[in-house]
Amino acid sequence: MPTNMYQQLKCTQNSDKESQVSSLLSQMTLKEKIGQMSQLNNDSEKLHSSIKKGLVGSILNEVDLNTINELQRIATQETRLGIPLLIGRDVIHGFNTIFPIPLGQAASWSSDMVEICAKIAAIESSNNGVNWTFAPMIDITRDPRWGRVAESLGEDPFLCSTLGTAMVKGFQGDKLSDTYSIAACAKHFAGYGASESGRDYNTTNIPENELRNVYLPPFKAVADSGVSTFMASFSDLNGVPVTGNTWLLNDILRTEWQYSGPVVSDWESIPQLVTHGFAVDEESAAFEACNAGVDMEMASDNYEEHLVTLIQNNKISIEHIDTMVSRILKLKFDLGLFETPFTESTASIEHLNGFHLSVAKQAATKSCVLLKNNKQILPLSKKTIDKLAVIGPLADDGYEQLGTWAFDGKANQSITCLSAIKDYAEDSVDVKFAIGMETSRSNHHDGFLEAIDIASAADVAVMILGEEAILSGEAHCRSNINLPGCQEQLINAVYETGTPIVLVVMAGRPITLEKILPKVDAVLFAWHPGTMGGSAIADILFGEDCPSGKLPITFPRTLGQIPLYYGQKNTGRPASEATFVDINNIKVKAPQTSLGMTSTHLDTHYSALFPFGYGLSYAQFEYKNINVSHYSVPMGESFKVAATISNTGSVDADEVVQLYIRDLFGSVTRPVKELKGFQRIHLQAGQSKTVVFNLHTDELAFYNRQMELKTEAGLFHAWIGGSSDTDLKTEFEVILPSE
């Protein structure tokens, strides 16, 4: 067995990590350094031999504890220097216990909930030897056609920053070296969510001002909060693929933000620089990525094959390599891997335990968004319902409700809607089930007759429809976002029975529901809710829990409105009700200038079907008495915006109170509204509470024409409400001290 040089270093008890890294780095050969920059998938034929030679820094997609411990044993005991491995896995929204998809978690508007979900995911995955996850994904996206919208935290920089920071805290804990902490990874840096036409891996064109004001803030937030790693985006950003983008990875991330952790490529994105047409060959691709600051290559072997030659030809300096490798080594020290490379089976805990499942249920409950509740059909009552029809291909499918990126989820442990409804109903309600369609994509009507039969005989039909898990996620983009297959026809068929319909939608993205909305009495949007989704949904349907989720992304009326988001610019001719003209009301041979001449479509209303921040409750909330602590706010000082919220309903409930501002005049145009704060509060029936938001003028800053982050003096509007479409408004002004 080779002598393990690192054992000598462990004797230096008082050495700080920097000196430990330097000592270790000084003993490494060039090939060993490049090996630390290489991440291999677990199916690589050369995995064991490469690890034994000290040529692998990380592996990914291995979750068998015995296998991982054996790989760590080879790395630490059969190599010259004994450097442990980073074990990467996409632990996106749970490991064995699966929580709602990230977009669903964002609908909870709860930092605490997002943090504890990530913490449990870290506990379960680290218990299997994983020490690095590729989450959170904090790409701002305003195109629900994009498959990876499911993995996002929505359309808003403030909400995404807040929840993304909470997710990092959950994964990483107080210290990376703690037993159940794992390294988080901020991805995909940056602008990936703006892919043209919502197609994955596609080109993005984002002006620098828009990039800095919208797409970069979440990444800056998690960098400031101590996220361990970054992942470079697949995408071409303004003509320069991010994997080779020196301006973004070096000038912004390293120099401007002073981020010091490792940057990993996305899967085989370095050789894809050739496919982009950015690099002439794989050696050139290795140069571009290394020069830009990609410290570790995921899956492919361009670094292994070409870095030695690039260094010998003086295209890449050894000092540059040393800097990159030192970042990787420091992360391993931070994780405590040199001291504890193995995961002890004696430290194992029960996955999917009672506490984990209870949190999964709470997360699913808080994530569900009630979009419609005509005549308060919900909640259902066992006292008034004798027969209940449950219809749909997603009603009793434990796998599909887990959603995308749930590799390690246990579908047989899922509580489905049908099973939860039957358990709740017990013997007091006769529950009948018809699948209606074989899958969510089916285009035949073979199951319609059974669905119609049970609906005709029922007091209420609960239809559980939406998208299978495979229809969202990476490379699972859609050119339309209607309910797929013949689901709309199934709804129409059940509607014809005259039985009231409660529609539950499980999906990985917003769905265009305008056509079927008049046919259903209630809509509960459940996203892909995870392991305990059925229990959460059943409790909401029967009033054991009150829906409190709010949309983290705008729901368009039609596909043609995309991109549609609340924080739009006003334009020189904003749309208004006064000037809107429906295409069906246009007179034949009407003059060209007779239609209002504003920023609208002729064939759909300019507004969203459901706006950002929207979500109904079984309670009713009244907002009033908005006020600002002082009208004139000196630059550099703090102020308060407050309002009174009353629960005027008959049930206790949570409400997410939201603060929006508008900077009316700026050196660059500003959005019509920007989220600047939110609070989830609980109000008993009849209770009122004054909710206060504390702001500083620095929080009103934006990047100006010179790309300087500054607050500008002037007039502002402020709103407090239950969604972005709120009318309770006040105003204030920011003044210069001399004023």
Q: Under a CB-based contact definition with an 8 Å cutoff, are residues 436 and 457 in contact?
A: no
Look at residues 554, 558, 471 and name the one whose alpha carbon lies nearest to residue 508.
Answer: 471
Centroid of chain to Cα 103: 5
Instruction: Look at residues 709, 722, 725 and name the one whose alpha carbon lies nearest to residue 611.
Output: 725
Scan for tokens 């006020």, then name that residue.
627
Bridge partners for 718 per DSSP: 661, 730
Phi, psi (degrees; rounded to nearest 5) at 176: -65, -30
Place of tokens 């990993």: 264
Task: Based on the residue annotation, tell me whether 266 is a catalytic residue of this protein.
Answer: yes
Cα 566 from Cα 157, distance rounded (Å): 12
Residues 101 and 508 sit within 8 Å (Cβ to Cβ):
yes
Compute CA 210 distance to the chain's CA centroid, rounded to the nearest angstrom.
20
Instruction: Give the three-class secondary structure for 536.
Output: helix
User: How long a stretch of residues is the chain?
Assistant: 739
Q: How far apart are CA 693 and CA 676, in angstroms?
A: 9
Q: Name the residue among 270, 286, 205 with its Cα closest to residue 234.
A: 270
**Cα angle for residues 510, 514, 520 (degrees, 5° grid):** 100
Residue-wise over 28-53: b if at least 16 C-beta within 10 A, else e? beeebbbbbbbbbbbeeeebeebbee
In degrees, to the nearest 5, what angle opens at C-alpha 39 toward C-alphas 36 and 43? 140
Roughly what angle, to the nearest 10 degrees, separates helices 417-425 and 533-541? 50
Query: Taking the mean position of all CA atoms in its chain, how far away is CA 575?
Result: 31
Cα(261)–Cα(143) distance, integer angstroms? 30
* β 702-703/709-710 pair status: antiparallel
Neighbour tally for 660: CB within 10 Å: 28
Please state, in angstroms and rounded to a whole number, the distance separating the CA atoms of residues 95 and 116: 13
Residues 508, 471 contacting (CB under 8 angstroms): yes
> How would you classify the pairing of strands 621-628 and 638-647?
antiparallel
Distance from chain centroid for Cα 403: 13
For Cα atoms 146, 152, 157, give the angle at the middle one, nearest 5 degrees: 110
Q: Give 103-143 as a DSSP string.
A: HHHHTTT-HHHHHHHHHHHHHHHHTTT--EE---B------
Name the active-site residue from 90, 266, 396, 408.
266
Q: Say if CB 189 and CB 222 are below 8 A apart.
A: no
What is the rounded end-to-end Cα distance, in angstroms, of the chain?
76
Q: 174: which 2 tokens?
A: 């107080």
Strands 38-41 and 522-525: unpaired
Q: Can you give the three-state secondary structure of 411-442, one letter per residue?
A: HHHCCCHHHHHHHHHCCCCEEEEECCCCCCCC
Our CA angle for 351, 354, 360, nearest 5°, is 80
CA distance 60 to 593: 61
Structure tokens at 504: 């539950």
> How many CB atoms are located within 10 Å of the residue 717 CB?
15
Rounded to the nearest 5 degrees, what angle is found at the Cα of 96, between the Cα atoms of 93 and 101?
A: 20
Q: Which of 181, 69, 170, 59 is nearest to 119 (CA)?
A: 170
CB-side exposure of 422: number of CA atoms within 13 Å?
Answer: 11
Q: What is the CA radius of gyration of the chain?
A: 27
Hey, which residues are catalytic here? Answer: 266
